[in-house]
Structure 1
């Protein structure tokens, strides 16, 4: 009990007050420092982003996985460049007739000519300072692949080296594609392009307008919500501008740390960071704005700078705890085995810490500078607003807590029922757009096995120091040819010193499909294990094998990350709420919210839309985002309930006041954060669509059901006993946040 009692005087409180106090006393210095640092780091991050990322999923797997071992043999024994990207080119006659011998000779001659042409990319295509630009100029490697059995087309393989997510390489591909198309068109031959790089560029081009429109709509929605809530120009735009500045600084800091340490980021990490920071940054600013407006209205005699300092110190405690909850949740990904998770977690954690620092410095400084002008031209500070929705919700929760609890649990339980029959979908999924690359792939599969442009590969390595021969390995390709689902087995290729061999497998299923993953992880690997000659070791690689191993790694990580993150979040709640019972209540609430969100998402995608299942990363993403971010709102309402219970009077009246004062901030912040994540729902990638939909739903449930209904109702039902074993001390005398005694339930609503 002594340890819990010591939490009443946490040293972190003094640190928070020191930061917010300094910022409100020296606001212009703080704003200037953030502006300089933010602009510098934003520019640096954009310039170095694609040097700090890697796009090959297999590179994120530990070496103990079979596909990772295959990649190592490919690089060390066959000189395969890990950044190499193969583009498959389909060449056919424009009149649709079968290729003739002369056509094939023409195709070979044109390919040879293109393979000698060095493609130079101008520095202006890369963007950023010239000394930081990555030069993707290179000579594409053209090589013949195969002719369709019906001679309807011939396939060529073109190799380009670089990061597929980098606009520089994408521009290089566009140049190579256009040159190739023109060269064959001059010979009256048509071309089609497919493969990972081709499909990505086509998808980027198809989504360009949609992405821009969605981004504009999201920003417009945030501004509109702020205008409706505060009826102020500055309150609508200042939070967004501040968060954009800090978000750029945070992304730059992450990229800079990655470059200095040699760690490679996943290409999706920067976009996830941006979404998270926009959401939580605007949330934290809204928490401060609502409390700032409340206190300016309640204490018109105090200078705005004094009020901003007091408000920032008080709300800063809740914001710090909320941010540390997110940091703790994502930091646990550092113990994951899958590299994408292991890198994503610390990256988001660092970004949130940067946003937390801005919440304790930049945001208070902006409040101190703008003062009451922050809410111009609204006259909301001049009068007490009429009782609104938040007052009615607070009154309902305080007067009928048991009914509210039953109704909330019924809703969450109904949504959780959607978990029945849940299946994990490990498919990457194609884009919503019917791209040219997808059409070319479909044309190829009508004449050849679906996996012909992206084969699975068996690598065999000698362990007894005896040279390998095709005869020694003959039993292995023969056995693989009999595996159902393997359409064709390529010729056994030995490396120069005959220490390793490569056998390509052309599967009848697309390499990114669930069928291909099951085939490789099961029958193919089983066959390889049984027929690998003595004195050798064999590993199965390729896209299907990599995705099969990724699914295994994710399952392993889920079992570790969930409990560790839950314990860390519980410890933070324990430190903030200074109670044993209250953290347990919040953890149960957020667990119910997580289950309800996953259940609703399963029902919607798997049962209603008849998808193969929910994306395999969705449970982890939901746990991190919904539990960690949703806990922000629970922390805010719980901290305010505790604060209100420190005043004299009934506990239920304190709960009603807490809901009345906090509901507008939580509702507004929840809508903004849900809109931020919901913007991902229009993405062409089905997995991103699921993440956007599910996370937005989870945030709304956390804000409107858990934080405004279930948690306050439980606090009203349990009274001050919820803070067992240390109940809030009932303070006497004047307090900055003392409620007006004449109106215990009437104050504030969502709009006024």
Structure 2
């Protein structure tokens, strides 16, 4: 099949190139616009309590004041606020109110209750139209509040800053844009430089970048936008940065798979077109199988409980498929029309077969002592995996995805120290009648008392007519609950679980309670993640094993291949936990990190296993013994795996330049995981186990030939005519 594909592309190279250019333009031109989702609660299904609480709030308090922005005032000299400062704050609030900023519904005056206990800070709360939350108007309102509020406060001796959800969304957009640029530029330079050095060529370094970012990336983005609109999926702000790495990383990997084999065939004396066709024929199955395994692993996230992953998974799957198609058709077509000397210019020794001394030595070591190699490489993975048992998840997504000097983060930190730690985003408990009867004052007070008695609760505001926390029909009350700990902390999440238990138990007869707020959202995200770990991971593993089994025609090999990938996952999580929790002293790792490690270490790490075992099978089919095949596979496939792994790991490491906790953790874990996948799993663990198992690794088929009529796939010239055995 792939030999036929290679010959078709070679014969119709210019047509293939033209078709891709036309398709890319058409897909990009017809793609709808997509807005990123920044509200964590929007990613949860409707059956979770935090979402039900939000829906009840909308019904019972349709015009309730929900602060989307917080205006923080303090003196420039750090002293207590004075009566003159109060006048200045009122002037700022009135000035902003009179401007009638679009989407801003109400700005509350600064009251005595809105001042910190030490008298140094004061708050004004701003309501912004919730229906605009996913529109540019929402963040534009926060930007306008910042700019105009600072001008109004100028000369008053007051420092004016804006925080809250709208400001956080604005800062997150800015940080995301900067991160995308850093990641893209860093990755581009790394790929061009490293691939250029590997092939000692300028054009070879540029080609994977052009193919990935000029064709594959726009095509993938256009198809993803169509899928998001068609299936009403959510889009996360971090999708774009991850997409860049996936397309460029996978595209570079597949280009290397093809280019190494293309150069290898040229060195045997084949002409350019024949070499391209045979390169596709030899590595096409490995690229297709690898892309299939990666795409399946990504696509299975459609089963996730969290909207950010139900969109991210299919998006990445689409990107991988698009990139694989480019690698199997457009890349060979480009190599066909460009003279081979130009591809590898200015290198002078590219036609000379390298000795691959280091990889040959590693191969010989594995072939001679497969048991020792398996024990050492597997032992490294196991030891690192044990460190992952100490993993602890944290949930401050906004804070972790932005530098600490962003204004919304500065305001959040000051709120947590000047007021109660939970004041930055209070929780809400809704008590509602189930039979239409009004709630009595006695019932409300008794319920508030039981909530206030929960360990970890700093205070409870009982609903009343004065604070407008009772619905118009008197059947629902909104209890504002201040927690002692920061809303996104694990302590606060534990507390909200206790609050839920207390609220459900204390609800009077013919009534029910629902706990809402951002901490309640995090509690439900935690529950959803546990669901995903127990459902998504096993299904993905089974599907990947099925693909491996079909490719290798074996029942045995997929089991130990997936076992090695599983150890790689555990080892990556363990190393990241060890560095950030045990050494750096972070309270935990971001809750989504295990999913991302799964996405890239399990999915993309499978690429390298597939490539090396495909080469191992090819060597075995040539008549070599299992140990000789392992030795030759490392000698010839090792440079490709090492180059691809090093480039992808270096690309992921560029995330660490973004300057925030989330991308520091993400960059390290993914880079380290790819290093494990390429240099431990694929280079040592998989070949050594295959050598130990021998012919049994291919049971019940005879993928290695094994004397049962197997054999290598015949090479062909550019016209599809089989070559004489001497040239194979």
Q: What's the TM-score once normalised by structure 2's chain length?
A: 0.89
- Structure 1 residues 37, 707: closer, same or farther in 2, change over 3 A? same
Question: Which residue of structure 1 aligns with residue 274 of structure 2?
Answer: 306
Is residue 405 of structure 1 aligned with residue 380 of structure 2? Answer: no
Is residue 268 of structure 1 aligned with residue 238 of structure 2? Answer: yes
Q: How far did residue 244 of structure 1 move?
A: 0.8
Q: What SS does the aligned partner of 1:49 have?
A: coil
Q: What SS does the aligned partner of 1:664 have?
A: helix
Q: How far did residue 512 of structure 1 move?
A: 1.5
- Structure 1 residues 109, 520: closer, same or farther in 2, change over 3 A? same
Q: How does 1:292-691 map to 2 (within 5 A)?
A: 292-300=262-270, 302=271, 304-372=272-340, 373-428=342-397, 430=400, 431-468=402-439, 470-492=441-463, 493-522=469-498, 524-691=499-666
Question: Which residue of structure 1 aligns with residue 466 of structure 2?
Answer: none
| Contact 1:87–1:158 (8 Å) recurs in 2 | yes
Match of 1:27 among 2, 7, 13: 13
Q: Distance in 2 between matches of 1:250 and 1:367?
A: 22
- Structure 1 residues 100, 599: closer, same or farther in 2, change over 3 A? closer
- Structure 1 residues 387, 277: closer, same or farther in 2, change over 3 A? closer
Q: How far did residue 734 of structure 1 move?
A: 6.4
Question: Which residue of structure 2 aligns with residue 748 of structure 1?
Answer: none
Q: Distance in 2 between matches of 1:633 and 1:183?
A: 59
Q: Distance in 1 between matches of 2:442 and 2:410?
A: 40
- Structure 1 residues 732, 488: closer, same or farther in 2, change over 3 A? closer
Q: What SS does the aligned partner of 1:540 have?
A: strand
Q: What SS does the aligned partner of 2:428 have?
A: strand
| Contact 2:187–2:245 (8 Å) recurs in 1 | no
- Structure 1 residues 212, 265: closer, same or farther in 2, change over 3 A? closer
CA RMSD of aligned residues (A): 3.1
Is residue 174 of structure 1 aligned with residue 143 of structure 2? Answer: yes
Match of 1:55 among 30, 38, 53: 38
Deviations 1:489-531 (A, max 9, x none): 2351123333432221122222122221111112x11221122
Q: Please, which runs of 5 or more residues in structure 1 have no aligned partner?
A: 1-13, 120-136, 745-752
Q: Distance in 1 between matches of 2:479 and 2:103?
A: 28
Q: How far did residue 560 of structure 1 move?
A: 1.1
Question: Which residue of structure 1 aligns with residue 203 of structure 2?
Answer: 234
- Structure 1 residues 739, 143: closer, same or farther in 2, change over 3 A? farther
| Contact 2:297–2:544 (8 Å) recurs in 1 | yes
- Structure 1 residues 519, 328: closer, same or farther in 2, change over 3 A? same
Question: Which residue of structure 2 aligns with residue 750 of structure 1?
Answer: none
| Contact 1:580–1:725 (8 Å) recurs in 2 | yes
Q: What SS does the aligned partner of 2:33 have?
A: helix
Q: How far did residue 100 of structure 1 move?
A: 5.3
Q: How far did residue 282 of structure 1 move?
A: 0.9
Is residue 283 of structure 1 aligned with residue 244 of structure 2? Answer: no
Q: What SS does the aligned partner of 2:421 have?
A: coil
Question: Which residue of structure 1 aligns with residue 68 of structure 2?
Answer: 86
| Contact 2:178–2:658 (8 Å) recurs in 1 | no
- Structure 1 residues 533, 649: closer, same or farther in 2, change over 3 A? closer
Q: Distance in 2 between matches of 1:90 and 1:724?
A: 69
| Contact 1:88–1:453 (8 Å) recurs in 2 | no
Question: Which residue of structure 2 aligns with residue 37 of structure 1?
Answer: 23
Q: Distance in 2 between matches of 1:563 and 1:262?
A: 26
- Structure 1 residues 733, 616: closer, same or farther in 2, change over 3 A? closer
- Structure 1 residues 152, 651: closer, same or farther in 2, change over 3 A? closer
Q: Distance in 1 between matches of 2:673 and 2:566?
A: 11
Is residue 74 of structure 1 aligned with residue 54 of structure 2? Answer: no
Aligned length, in residue pairs? 706
Deviations 1:683-715 (A, max 9, x none): 344233222211211111111111111222223
Q: Distance in 2 between matches of 1:280 and 1:188?
A: 55
Q: Distance in 1 between matches of 2:550 and 2:40?
A: 39
Q: What SS does the aligned partner of 1:464 have?
A: coil
